[in-house]
Chain A
Amino acid sequence: MDRNLIRKALGAKVQFIQGDEACAYGALLAGCTFFGGYPITPATEVAEVMARLLPKIGGCYIQMEDEIASIAAIIGASWTGAKTMTSTSGPGFSLMQENLGYGIMTETPCVIINVQRSGPSTGQPTLGAYGDMMQARWGTHGDHEIIMLCPANVQESLDLTITAFNFAERYRTPVLVFIDGELGHMRERVIIPEDDEIAIVNRTISNVSPDEYVPFGVNGDLVPAFAPFGAGYHTYVTGLTHNEQGLPRASSAEVHNRLVRRLADKILNNTDDIVLYEELETDDCEILLVSYGITAGVCRDVVATARQRGVKVGMLRLITIWPFAEEAVARLAQQVRMMIVSEMNMGQIIHPIREAVAGRCDVRLISKIGGALHMPAEIMEAVEQWR
């Protein structure tokens, strides 16, 4: 793909755009050439940008008949060697669950943007929420790991979508980027990074002959080399439990154990690379605000206000949600008296936090649902009350 063409399609280096649009920009910068999607509020703008820009760079946009077909199409397209993406919101993400598992089982790189809205069911289509955090982790059936990133602002929506493609390619697995309806529709300044400012990772392509190729055989890093369809490697891809040759061995406990544990380990052994987070004023803090997504900006304000008032508050912002930043949370749990978790749901990420804290400090939730963001004052009030 001609990178100048991508830059030409994106336009001015500094723009004032929405979170949804920024995700699409990030995808194009990462080298995405195929998008299959289905319209859904508040994610539709992602698809609209892809529909407008992909043909300009010679890529392909296809609007599928539903979200099940959308994720199926991007997985199929990925096997031709293309970088692929879809976008959706809660109801569509629910529909994608089975094929998400297929993508994990078949080690297919692809990226799924979920611009979350309130549920259950149709809920509040135009308003933001973070209600799919656990569905992302456990929504598809069976044992598995998942990589999920949570941008906090529009620039990061662009940057982390690039990171998501890199993780998808590096680890050969579907990667989720989760924002919400508020961030998806919010506009901020975005600076389109230069090529030398961004790392682009491409999946490792098999360099052995088809005769020697073992499609799901691995070396040290547990990620098999990829052979695109049409290259003469005759790869058989199945969602059934399969051996290194890719052949079904659905009744073998041994093959299943080896495969499913490797799929988990290729992610869990690389948490140093994958687990991203930001710490703010944590050196001496006694109260830790834990946040992710759009709420992080609000917590940033609260840290500043609290410090002005002499309260030792810090913030841990989770950027990678899955795999979970266990070590960082456990480390901070030894230091702080209390963690205050602000979530735009009824309490989801507080569960792995409590698990990592393991009783070493108090963990409290400020839950907000209904579409409104947390106000800085209400978090500050909780800090004052609970300090």
Chain B
Amino acid sequence: MAMKQAEDLREKYLRQSMFPTIFCDGCGIGNVLNYTLWAIDEIELDIDRTVFVSGIGCSSRLTGYVNADGLHTTHGRALAFATGVKVANPDLTVIVFTGDGDGSGIGGNHLLHTIRRNIDMTVILVNNYTYGMTGGQVAPTTPMGSITTTTPYGNSEWPLDVCEVARALGAPYVARWPVTFPYQPIKSIEQGIRKRGFALIEMLAPCPTAYGRRNNLRALDQSWKWYKDHSLLVEEYERIERFGTDAERATLQGKIKVGVFQDSERECFSDQWRAVVERVKLKA
């Protein structure tokens, strides 16, 4: 990959008047933006014909930093707004930035139905295990036992695996990477944008300020190391699951599957709709 300098990309794609960002030290959301810029530059995406849509939350602020058409909407509803944009003008490329609370909590139902319809869009869901902007409350993705401001004695709910849901619903492209992986996320975002249909890229990003400090992941090196130590490529994970010894299987405990979970083809909504229009449209 012929990489440009990060500064070149910032100059080319960012809205300088929006800086500095709202992000805290050690936050992984900025990395997600960088990976996205690398990806869109790599595939020479026409930025004038691209719309960035987001909901509410830290990661949903990303749309504001990109110098492109952006729709920063209401909490949880990014995919519904994005559906309107894409369906009304299928020639536009739609990229959604959302968070775990925004995209899978309050917006969970929209996620199901946007995948079901197979709206052609790329959803970059930043999962930091918490509601960061409001100061660190329990999210649908918060690991069992975690301490948050609303689970002061430890989380007693099972977390949601967003990628598993997307895969089960037949999303044509599903991947998960921690921001600590430098190249794979770029590749996945490229693949997601190129995919004709719904693409979900879940980015695991540390939130030292709101989540980490209550869960022994306050220091930057500590939290980045945690993601490295706990991530396991899906191929390796599934190999151990199927063929590993008991001792090997025991090591899977607490590990997070990462990688590309699904890469398939399925006719998207706009293609289906175009066929309907071709069939029934009146002749002038």
Contact = CB atoms under 8 A, between A and B. Distances in A.
- Contact, chains A and B (beta carbon distance below 8 A): yes
Interface of A: 2, 4-5, 8-9, 33-34, 36, 55-58, 60, 62, 64-66, 68-70, 72-82, 84, 98-99, 102, 229-240, 245, 247-248
Contacts of B67: 234
A2 B284 contact: yes
Given A76-B82, A236-B15, A237-B70, A230 B109 contact: no
Interface in B110-151: 110, 112-113
Contacts of A58: 277, 281
Interface of B is mostly: helix
A248 B15 CA distance: 12
B84 A4 contact: no
A314 to B, nearest CB: 45
Contacts of A78: 84, 88
B84 A230 contact: no
Nearest to A65: B113
Given A60-B273, A64-B113, A236-B64, A229 B85 contact: yes
Contacts of B84: 34, 36, 62, 72-79, 84
B87 A34 contact: yes
A62 to B, nearest CB: 6
Interface of B: 15, 17-18, 47-49, 51, 53, 63-64, 67-74, 77, 80-85, 87-89, 91-92, 109-110, 112-113, 269, 273, 276-277, 280-282, 284
Residue among B17, B77, B84, B112 with max Cβ neighbours from chain A (10 Å): B84
B284 A4 contact: yes
B77 A72 contact: yes
Nearest to A101: B74
A77 B92 contact: no
Given A60-B88, A72-B81, 10 more contacts: A72-B74, A72-B80, A72-B84, A77-B88, A79-B51, A230-B51, A230-B92, A236-B64, A238-B64, A247-B15
Contacts of B73: 72, 75-76, 99, 102, 239
Contacts, number: 150
A348 B17 CA distance: 46
Contacts of B77: 68-69, 72, 99
Given A34-B84, A230-B51, A239-B73, A80 B89 contact: yes
A84 B81 CA distance: 13
A76 B80 contact: yes
Nearest to A210: B48
* Nearest 5 interchain pairs by C-beta: A76-B84, A73-B84, A77-B88, A72-B80, A69-B80
Residue among B87, B91, B269 with max Cβ neighbours from chain A (10 Å): B87
A82 B68 CA distance: 19
Contacts of B71: 76, 79, 229, 237
B110 A76 contact: no
B109 A75 contact: no
A287 to B, nearest CB: 47
